[in-house]
Amino acid sequence: MENNWIVAKFGGSSVRDAQAMLRCCQIIENNPKIKVVVISATQNTTNQLETVSKTAQVGDGMGLELVVNEIINKHIYIARELFTSPAVLLELEVLCGELKALGALILKDRLCSPATMDELNSLGERMSSLLFADLLRLRIPKKIVQLLDARKIIKTNSDFQKAEPQIELIAKNCESQILPTINDETLFVTQGFIGSDSEDCTTTLGREGSDYSATLIGEGVSASLVQIWTDVTGIASCDPRLVDEVKFIKTISYDEATALASLGAKVLFPSTLLPTKRKNIPVFVGSSLYPDRGGTLITQEHDCAFSLKAISLLENKDGAFVSFVGTHIDKKNDLKNILLSYLGADCFQFTKVNIHSITFKIDQSKLEKSLAIKKAHLALSKFI
Ligand code: ASP
Ligand code: MG
């Protein structure tokens, strides 16, 4: 029999406050196929944890206290609004104590090693998942909600802050800790982003890495679908923050979505689709604010003919680059010149082409990049 299990990941904006968490809870309640829930830190908390480290390292005791209190108060406020149980409030207090202690340690040493940073960063996901699991217990009493420490599942190497997952160990852990009860009324809740190395030291997969955690677990349990719930209704023809008139994409292939992510689109963490591609598991990206508006489904399927779907903007030390992403791009006759005729050859310079993308460098002395991206989207609109 085919597995019919969904792993659902909720990003920081989706769990930013009590109302947002309630919306995620409703999505889970409405879909009994969701068996594993992966939670990010609440919005901006990971940034604040980085500020904890920075203020402490420079000896700014006041700044440190301020940001530590902000993080603690934010979570206590959510807990109050959600009627979090007294036992879980005590657990939250323990995590707040850990946060203060780590801050004090960094302040004393004026030093935060990558390992300490990962330990500190893990608090964001550990706090949000603790509160979210308790909410699920309250709202879906027929389920047995089990909060799993992701560090017991996501084993990684010791490359702190950008740790590499160990696929076979993760598969084994999923098999022993999740699969035996996945068909019962158990609902697993775990943290995105964090893992642990062979010494059980906390590691993280890199900023925005929770998507990757979800697909790694999806692979480990052979899920039928991984859902990534965020604040946009799927993958768009361009980042909606850069261009107004974007079009949302209904279906896209793993390779196209990976090209987009690695060429600068912020919608997915770049390694996200590797595990699901290995096991041919579709990935859905949708908005937890508007779950009924649909989203993007990412699958193995490719268009058989040339097509363009989206553009992305990448900035690095070599400049700003705009890429057009799609399929069979290298087969389309004269595409480079056709695109340049729309873009203006004076402001854009061709850099590379392959099967899923064609990239141009923006001459920023002639054209501001915000205008360049609008122009590129206009060029894309001739094809979509
Ligand atoms: N909380 C982490 C971050 O903000 C991971 C994630 O949200 O994906 O980078
Ligand atoms: Mg995030």
CA 242 / ligand 2 centre spacing (Å): 19
pLDDT at 257 (0 to 100): 96
Please report the atom of ligand 1 found closest to the CA of residue 11: 7
Which residue's alpha carbon is nearest to atom 1 within ligand 1?
41
Q: Which residues surround ligand 2, an ion (CB under 5 A)?
A: 11-12, 40
CA 336 / ligand 2 centre spacing (Å): 35
Burial label for 247, CB within 10 Å (0-12, 13-18, 19+), is middle
The DSSP annotation for 347-381 comes to: TEEEEEE-SSEEEEEE-TTTS-HHHHHHHHHHHHH
**147 Cα distance to chain centroid:** 20
Which ligand number lies closest to the CA of residue 118? 1
CA 42 / ligand 2 centre spacing (Å): 8
Which ligand number lies closest to the CA of residue 124? 1
Residue 97 is part of a domain; what is its CATH number? 3.40.1160.10
User: Do 47 and 266 meet the contact criterion of CB atoms below 8 Å apart?
Assistant: no
CA 238 / ligand 2 centre spacing (Å): 19
Quick check: is 67 in a domain? yes
Residues 320 and 223 in one domain: no
Residue 359 is part of a domain; what is its CATH number? 3.30.70.260
Residues 215 and 321 in one domain: no
pLDDT at 1 (0 to 100): 53
Q: Which residue range forms the structural domain that includes residue 341?
A: 307-381
Which of 231, 249, 267 is at the close of a domain?
Answer: 231
Ligand 1 pocket (Cβ < 6 Å) reads 11-12, 40-41, 46, 124, 192-193, 207-210
Q: Which residues pair with 188 in a beta bridge?
A: 36, 146
Residues 227 and 311 in one domain: no
Residues 36 and 179 in one domain: yes
Residues 335 and 219 in one domain: no
Q: Which of 205, 210, 215 is the pocket-test mutation for ligand 1 (most atoms within 8 Å of CB)? A: 210
d(CA 202, CA 117): 9
Which of 163, 197, 231 is at the close of a domain?
Answer: 231
Give the number of residues written for the chain.
384
User: Do 30 and 288 meet the contact criterion of CB atoms below 8 Å apart?
Assistant: no
Please report the atom of ligand 1 found closest to the CA of residue 207: 9
Quick check: is 287 in a domain? no
Give how many domains the chain has, as a whole number: 2
Please report the atom of ligand 1 found closest to the CA of residue 213: 8
3-state class (DSSP) for residue 23: helix
Which of 209, 231, 253 is at the close of a domain?
Answer: 231
**257 Cα distance to chain centroid:** 14
CA 230 / ligand 1 centre spacing (Å): 12
For the chain, 384 residues long, give each residue's pLDDT as a single digit of tens: 578 999 999 999 999 999 999 999 999 999 999 999 999 999 999 999 999 999 999 999 999 999 999 999 999 999 999 999 999 999 999 999 999 999 999 999 999 999 999 999 999 999 999 999 999 999 999 999 999 999 999 999 999 999 999 999 999 999 999 999 998 899 999 999 999 999 999 999 999 999 999 999 999 999 999 999 999 999 999 999 999 999 999 999 999 999 999 999 988 998 999 999 999 999 999 999 999 999 999 999 988 999 999 999 999 999 999 999 999 999 999 999 999 999 999 999 999 999 999 999 999 999 999 999 999 999 999 999
pLDDT at 290 (0 to 100): 97
